[in-house]
Amino acid sequence: MSTTADRLARLVTPVADDLSVTVYDIEDSSGTLRVLLDRPDGIDVDTLADASRRISRAMDEDGSFASAAVLEVSSPGLERKLRTAAHFLGAVGEQVKIKLAPGVADRRIDGVVAAADDRTVTVATPDGGPDRTLLLADITSAHTVYVWETTPKPGTKRTVPASNRSGDARPRSDSDPQPAEPADPAETEATA
C-alpha cells in the first residue's frame, strides 16, 4: 500500500469495526481513494453510505489528505479483484480469471481456486487437466468471475408437449378455436 493508503487504513479501521464490516481493500489511484468494505452475508447501501460519511469526516479532521482527493466507498462487487493472499484464501471454491507476468507459461488462466496460502494459489482448470500452483508474485491481475444461473426466467420460454403439436408452435388454450372433428364415414353415407 502507498503512504496515503496506509494513513487512510488507520482512519478506516475504527469505522469498519464500529459498523461490524471488514475492510476488503484500500486503493490509492490517481487522486481517487477507494475503500472496499464487506460483510460475510453481503453489505447494504445504507451501511456503505454511513461508512462514507464517517470516513470523509475522519479525513477532514485528520487534515493530511488533499482536498482534491475523491473518496469512493463501495463493496468489492460480484467480480472482485484478488490482490492479496487473504483475497485468494477467501476465494477458495470460486471461479477466477488470472493474468500472469510476462515470461510465465500460459499467461492467462481460468479456473476454480482450489487452495491458497501466503505465497501460492492453486487453480483447478475446467479442462480437467492437472491443478496449477502459481506464485502470488507472478500474478499481475486476478478477479473472481460471477457465474450466472442457467435457469430461465419464469414465462420466458414455453414448451409445447408433443401431444399439442399440430404445426402450431404455441400450446393450445381453452379459448383457441378447436379443429373440426373429422366426419365419420358411416354418418356421411347414411345422409347421402
pLDDT digits (tens, 9 = 90+) for 6-16: 899 999 999 99
- The reported pLDDT for the residue numbered 45 is 97
Give the residue with greater pLDDT, 12 vs 5. Answer: 12
Question: Would you say residue 151 has pLDDT above 60?
Answer: yes
Query: pLDDT confidence of 164, banded at 50, 70, 90?
Result: very low
CA 116 – CA 94 distance, rounded (Å) = 12
Compute the average pLDDT of residues 123-151.
92
CB-based contact 76:38 (threshold 8 Å): yes
Compute the average pLDDT of residues 85-96.
96
- The reported pLDDT for the residue numbered 65 is 80
Question: Would you say residue 1 has pLDDT above 50?
Answer: no
- CATH classification of 3-74 is 3.30.300.70, yes or no? yes
Strand spans (E) along 5-107: 22-29, 32-38, 70-74, 95-100
Closest CA to 74 of 54, 49, 39, 56: 49
Which CA distances in Å does 162 have to 154, 165, 177? Answer: 21, 5, 19
CA 50 – CA 45 distance, rounded (Å) = 9
Domain map (residue ranges) of the chain? 3-74, 85-144
Element (H, E) at 132: strand 132-135
- The reported pLDDT for the residue numbered 104 is 84
Q: What is the CATH number of domain 85-144?
A: 2.30.30.100
